[in-house]
Amino acid sequence: MVKVKCLFLGIGLLVGTGVFAQNIITIDATAAKTTINKNIYGHFAEHLGRCIYDGFYVGEANKTIPNTDGVRNDIIAALKKLKIPNLRWPGGCFADTYHWKDGVGPKDKRPSIVNTNWGYVTEDNSFGTNDFLNMCELLGTEPYLSGNVGTGTVQEMLDWMQYTNFDSKSPMSDMRRQNGRDKPWNVKYWGIGNETYGCGGHMTAEYYAGMYRQYVSFMRNDGKNNLSFVAAGAKNDDYHWTETLMKGVPLYMLDGIAMHHYSYVDWEKKGSASVFNETQYFKTMKQAVWMEELVARHSAIMNKYDPKKKVGLVVDEWGGWYDVEPNTNPGFLYQQNTMRDAMIAGVTLNVFNNHADRVRMANLAQCVNVLQAVILTDKEKMILTPSYHVMEMYNVHQNAKLLPLTIQTNKYVLGDGKLPAVSASASIDANLAAHISLVNIDAKKTQKTTVNLKGRKFSTVTGRILTSKRVQDCNSFEEPDKVQPVIFKDVSLNGSMLTVSLPPFSLVVLELK
């Protein structure tokens, strides 16, 4: 049995009482044009550690944990509350060693393989294509399939697409019917490989551009499915990769280009997920804040070749990455989730919202029991992490219209380092309610903030806040509700002007009507 407890350094990061000079945010409430694509709030489920097995999937024979076809009912209910728009599967690095035909048909006849990417454990393929796509139907979410380019073939991916999408008679649709599914699932989103610069084949950008063109040349739209193809993209600031794809692939063949970025203390010495000091917290937040520059610069390259912004930037892996919890398999990437991770999520989602003209999809890594998970499980127990609560608070932005803003923010200062203390994003929904997301990453200082809503006056404001006594605080199986949103009262509204006091390491979502 795996148990995770929240541990704290003696010095802690206690809530401070100091208040900086005022931050100023100006929002143009008359300039709502760009839609914040709901797919920005996507998630990721890889055959890695306890994400699928002993996470989502406990097996049809399990009589202890309530489930539907082996998938936990409590996880389904929790994710439906998040309104998750899409779920990426089966990887990650696992995708480029995965052969989908191993995971269909009678479960007792499916071949086992060794998961060479994550822990060298046996993968029995009991959770496969039918299981995943049926689970997506339970969730009411779009599946996003990551195809095998590293060890697969064009024909294998074509067969997969025919199995999932073709309605009439064909070899693969006949196989689907033999496996108990008559109607196709009509999978729209297809990733052509994963991290092909690394675990997906260690390819050059030029080589992969040719591979991508070959695959998509044969993955034709049959007129019934509005297919969307995503190219495996860059790691962090590899701008050459993005430029090579934009220059080397015709726009009609390209719907999205991926980009991956994780936040950590130091890649070679990541440190504990729950035992950290302010210096380690600051370094992690520096990586999170870097997302603004990464998205802006990749977008600028894409703008050169695609000024009409047909192609989306798809950040289909992001989140915090630390050392695994003590006494767990190093290849399982099981880590706790604290207020530090809530800050990563809030800052990152504000970046995506504000770049909604180019960012069309993103996937937090990962959904259950891996990296910056929104859900942790221990046998029959399940807890929601601080990152879960951020995603739930922010889902008001899904498919709402972006309200452009400018921000003048104080700095979060530690030693010689400086980071913007406050970040924000805003939108207006179909019912003309405005929502403003505010994050203060400063570990010690309250940030007093004024928000000027140009062009419109509101009569009421309500809000919720996510914070805690220490930035290391988390939800554990012993204290599952230690960190959760509560009503926020430290806000006043005067016509089109808001005054807000943001406590240290806090996240606030306001609603104005």
Catalytic residues: 195, 317
Residues 6+ apart with CB under 8 A from 108: none
**Start-end of H helices in 129-277:** 129-139, 154-165, 171-178, 205-218, 239-248
Contact 405, 411 (CB under 8 A): no
E strand or H helix at 226: none
Report residue 173: phi and psi, to 5°.
-70, -30
Report how far apart, in Å, the C-alpha atoms of 370 and of each of 33, 48, 119, 192, 294 are.
Answer: 36, 7, 13, 23, 24
How far is CA 63 from its chain centroid? 31
Report how far apart, in Å, the C-alpha atoms of 326 and of each of 5, 148, 263, 319, 342 are.
Answer: 10, 33, 20, 20, 22
For 504, half-sphere exposure in the C-beta direction (CA atoms, 13 angstrom radius) is: 20
Tokens of 124: 């029995």
Tokens of 45: 């489920």
Amino acid at 77: A
E strand or H helix at 391: helix 386-394
In the chain, DSSP finds a helix count (H) and a strand count (E) of: 9, 27
